[in-house]
Structure 1
């Protein structure tokens, strides 16, 4: 008997010759003629896993669909969705990932165990992170910290790495302290990942010079990560927005020189950085270049709500006017 493994589960099949040209290998035909339904399903699943292992995406998906037709149990059908997701993540096929996640959620409505449900959270979190929805990714990752079993995607250290990175740009200071900084599951692992502990704690402790130093050390890891690499520049901007906003939150006005000293950079660098973020609407402050001072102008929540209401009201009136013209015609 041969064992088909490679991280996709373990299944035993008869050790008979199998050519890629064979549409129906002899051991599958034998199972269909002489064995029961479960053995037939296992044989078809073994063929699916073979195609996955050699990277034949089209044939793997086709064979997984055949296997699904011979599968009754909801849990086993969920496992087939997970195999599909693994293949989709390998090829970064986001359309297939999205459809598979929706399919998995529909299967859970028919019934599913908590272990598979928690696994799905990690898959969905990885999809959200890969599609730049860091807020939802952080929420899903944090929900899965104590129940992580998705080792077929990545090890637990990598999972914590993703959790910390997404949480820093998604959570407010209080939530970051409660869910990440003091989380025992994160504390047991974070020290194994170079620069990550200093990156997280220096941000929370307002040690901005240490934060920038740790951030520089982490950039290479982020660049080399297959899921984060496409969003490297975006993530860099978001992190700097978070740290600059946190610093400015404590002041009504502060000199540019004092801010540059706190971050361990030059005045010209801070001036150039803040100019870009202010013009993009990321920071609510203005630069008095003559006096060398930064003045914060935090938006009034009530005024912002009033402006939003006026804007939506104008949009609604325009739609009503267009509709009335159509009705008159």
Structure 2
């Protein structure tokens, strides 16, 4: 189940294929191939209950004889595992009993029986003393959570892992947990926290069971672009040696990052268009696709407008390689949503920026707090006078 050999954990690969089979943008011919792969993986691991789910969703055709064969095989295997547990309890020591229970947990994970797997992991945990081994059980639970996209289970497991670390735990597992938590944050639209966790793990990445290092860098760059200020982006991402060694292997990603930093807006937009397909076809990012597209455009428009007190709409459209109408419509939406601090002068065809002044905001806040304090003092003096 857990892979230490640099390959993605089988069930997470299966989860991604299942996602693509039902994706509206994947071509039918590709879906036929993916269905065959999903079916082969389900059959290889005797995933009976998951097979039933996929048949109910019309992802796969139900073949009753195959389902019966799977169930018979599972019953036979569980019987063997129970015999091993009984034997360990009668004739062997505590660690052998734990190993026998762990083997049963892993078998339930392998056949994709979530409820039974969680039950059995709990029993195994009751027989586990070492913090490191308890942590490994949490990682198994997290992998189950990501396979089923069960964010409640993932969130509880992350909290549990953090509590375990207070009892001890090694750096290697702590670093692995950061990537798991980063993936959880990214999947639940907390891109800022995800970026920080990914950046922290860049030099210690070992969680190949979740995804490859290239995918990890892809996520790190995407989350950082909408989360970091310009100085941090340069220092932590643009110039990071670990990112530089891999970024060229991912189509459009290097142009996307560098053209934003170098203010090459035409190149940025064309790289962004190239990347959208990859973002759309990603199981974790797809639900946030529209949100992410808006956030990126907010970042890039804000960066462009920061250089000017006023600029013509035509000049901005030219810089981005788009039409005046497109920029006009885009900016109207972003200004209305409070995402950009500028005004459009339609008559003159000019954009005027009205960036919020930090000093002014501080001054206003101080006055407000002062008024609040005076009111409190007046109320208090009235009470004392009585």
Q: SS state of the match for residue 351, structure 2?
A: strand
**Equivalent residues in 2 for 1:1-329, closer than 5 Å:** 20-21=74-75, 26-308=83-365
Closer, same or farther in 2 for the Cα pair 1:194/1:291, shift >3 Å?
A: same
- For 1:129 and 1:11, the matched residues in 2 are separated by 26
Residue 303 of structure 1: how far off its partner (Å): 2.7
Closer, same or farther in 2 for the Cα pair 1:266/1:143, shift >3 Å?
A: same
Kept after mapping to 2: 8 A contact 1:138/1:163: yes
Once the two structures are superposed, residues 220-243 of structure 1 have per-residue CA deviations (whole angstroms, 9 ceiling, x without a partner) of 110111111110000000000000
TM-score normalised per structure 1 = 0.88
Once the two structures are superposed, residues 168-196 of structure 1 have per-residue CA deviations (whole angstroms, 9 ceiling, x without a partner) of 00111111111101111001111110000
Closer, same or farther in 2 for the Cα pair 1:247/1:111, shift >3 Å?
A: same
Residue 40 of structure 1: how far off its partner (Å): 1.3
- For 2:372 and 2:152, the matched residues in 1 are separated by 33
Q: SS state of the match for residue 286, structure 1?
A: strand
Closer, same or farther in 2 for the Cα pair 1:14/1:186, shift >3 Å?
A: closer
Closer, same or farther in 2 for the Cα pair 1:308/1:100, shift >3 Å?
A: farther
Kept after mapping to 2: 8 A contact 1:31/1:39: yes
TM-score normalised per structure 2 = 0.75
Closer, same or farther in 2 for the Cα pair 1:328/1:102, shift >3 Å?
A: farther
- For 1:202 and 1:83, the matched residues in 2 are separated by 40
Residue 311 of structure 1: how far off its partner (Å): 6.5
User: Taking CA–CA contacts closer than 8 Å with sequence separation of 6 or more, which of the two structures ends up with the larger relative contact order?
Assistant: 2
Residue 328 of structure 1: how far off its partner (Å): 17
Kept after mapping to 1: 8 A contact 2:47/2:111: no
- For 2:257 and 2:104, the matched residues in 1 are separated by 45
Structure 2 unaligned runs (5+)?
1-44, 59-72, 78-82
RMSD: 5.6
- For 2:51 and 2:235, the matched residues in 1 are separated by 36
- Structure 1 residue ranges, 4+ long, deviating more than 6 angstroms after superposition: 2-15, 310-329
Kept after mapping to 2: 8 A contact 1:4/1:49: no
Q: Which moved more, 1:164-173 or 1:30-39?
A: 30-39
Closer, same or farther in 2 for the Cα pair 1:322/1:211, shift >3 Å?
A: farther
- For 1:234 and 1:177, the matched residues in 2 are separated by 24
Residue 316 of structure 1: how far off its partner (Å): 9.5
